[in-house]
Structure 1
Amino acid sequence: MSRYETEDEQVEAIKSWWKKNGTQLLSALLVIVIAISGWRYWTNSQYIDSANTSSLFEALQVNMQRGTFGEVSREALKLIQQQPDSPYAVGAAMMYAKYSLDKGELEEAIAKLTWITENAKDAQLRNTARLDLARIQIDLQALDLAQAHLDFLMKANLKGAGKSVLDYVSGLMAITQSDFEGAQLAFKRVIENDKTEANLLGLAQIQLDDLAQ
């Protein structure tokens, strides 16, 4: 029997994992931590079905933490393909995106994050994926695509830590456009936001110091 009986519980489990393990994707700072203990890994079948989707996700989680996600990456793809309506499919897509980024496979990461924006039922998870997409596309100089995501998120009226991440990525975008004054204002908003996570606070300060030189 699945440990998580409702979709809300499944979504919160994914958010908890992403907060703890998705730090290489900057916008993981958006995610609310919901402590979930006592996860157990078990499986009696090589097939993905409604009875063992939760357990499969936990197995993917364990392998991601151990750095052996490549060994179960096919199972992650099966979960996404065969259970697309399950919140765990979104979690699998997030892990696959992180795995792809770690390997330098940016296009694959973009594909999985885009899938999340189109399929996740939870708005916060969709916004998280959009922020990650914007950050990657800025690095790739795909600025029109990045700006489209930022414009969408501006209208979403993000609050707290989510707003600080959006401001930080907006500052990076401003730098690419040689709008250094706009970048300074964005990074200052990050620093002035009392919900900004400590690591992001440090990054924003570094950016401000560089702009002041």
Structure 2
Amino acid sequence: MELYDSEEQQVEAIKDWWKENGKAVILGAVVGLGGLFGWRYYQDSVIEARETASEQYTQAIEAMATKGLEASSEVQAFINSDSSSEYTVLAALQLAKAQVEAGEFGQALEQLQWAQTKTKDPALTPLITFRIARLMTEQGDIEAANTELSKISDASWAGRVAEMRGDIALSQGDKDAAYSAYSEAQQATDASQTLQLKLDDLAK
């Protein structure tokens, strides 16, 4: 460490160091503060965007609850407004549900397939895929339905997947495969209360 003989030498040394490094220090401080304020602005923007999306989602769902499919155009407009938001995915699920209840299976399937490609929520993915498989089964597209079911690897869905495979097999007249699938479903943690009735019917 360099020693200084006098206070004046120390002052001069500081001045010299500042001349050489002052701009860099100021620039670093500006960049640092700019980054801090920029990050805060970004966080505020994200929060505001989420709150706006939440409010718009609530309005869209309330409109559907009041007017049913008559509100589909405004719900669809919300869905189209921001495909990166999970709120629009949830709106698509609600719209698909209303379309199924109205017998519009084709449109409902399109909504669900769109939601499947857009969601980033691992909890929603198996739900959407399961509903797609159920709709495909309803439309008689058995091969496609089984393909969708094979995409669901979440253990918490094992019972429902196996039960639907049993339903599909039974609709195809394959009682042995149906019985096997129902028996498998009964061992899962998400087994439904109707499984025993289905097994009893097959055993008669």
Would you call these one fold, judging by a TM-score over 0.5? yes
| Correspondence for 2:155 | 159
Query: Which has a greater percent of helix?
Result: 2
| Correspondence for 1:91 | 90
Residue type at the aligned position of 2:52: N
Q: What is the deviation of 1:135?
A: 1.2
| TM-score using structure 2 length | 0.69
Q: Which runs of 4+ in 1 moved over 4 A?
A: none
Match of 1:207 among 192, 198, 203: 198
Q: What is the deviation of 1:55?
A: 0.9
Q: What is the deviation of 1:51?
A: 5.3
Q: What is the deviation of 1:141?
A: 1.2
* Larger RCO of the pair (alpha carbons < 8 Å, separation 6+): 1
Match of 2:164 among 165, 169, 177: 169
Counterparts of 1:175-186 in structure 2 under 5 Å? 175-186=170-181
Counterparts of 1:17-166 in structure 2 under 5 Å? 52-64=52-64, 66=65, 68-153=67-152, 156=153, 158-160=154-156, 162-166=157-161
Residue type at the aligned position of 2:61: Q
Decide which structure has the larger Cα Rg and report it.
2
3-state secondary structure, aligned to 1:195: coil
Instruction: Give the gaps of 5 or more residues in structure 1.
Output: 8-48
CA distance in 1, matches of 2:196, 2:103: 27
Q: What is the deviation of 1:63?
A: 4.5
CA distance in 2, matches of 1:52, 1:182: 49
| TM-score using structure 1 length | 0.66
Q: Is 2:69–2:99's contact at 8 Å kept on the other side of the alignment?
A: no
CA distance in 2, matches of 1:131, 1:194: 17
Q: Is 1:190–1:201's contact at 8 Å kept on the other side of the alignment?
A: no
3-state secondary structure, aligned to 1:201: coil
Q: What is the deviation of 1:205?
A: 2.6
CA distance in 1, matches of 2:166, 2:102: 26
Deviation track 1:39-79 (CA, whole Å, cap 9, x = no partner) reads xxxxxxxxxx7652211212233345x46333432221012
Q: Is 1:60–1:69's contact at 8 Å kept on the other side of the alignment?
A: no
Q: Is 1:171–1:182's contact at 8 Å kept on the other side of the alignment?
A: yes
CA distance in 1, matches of 2:66, 2:197: 30
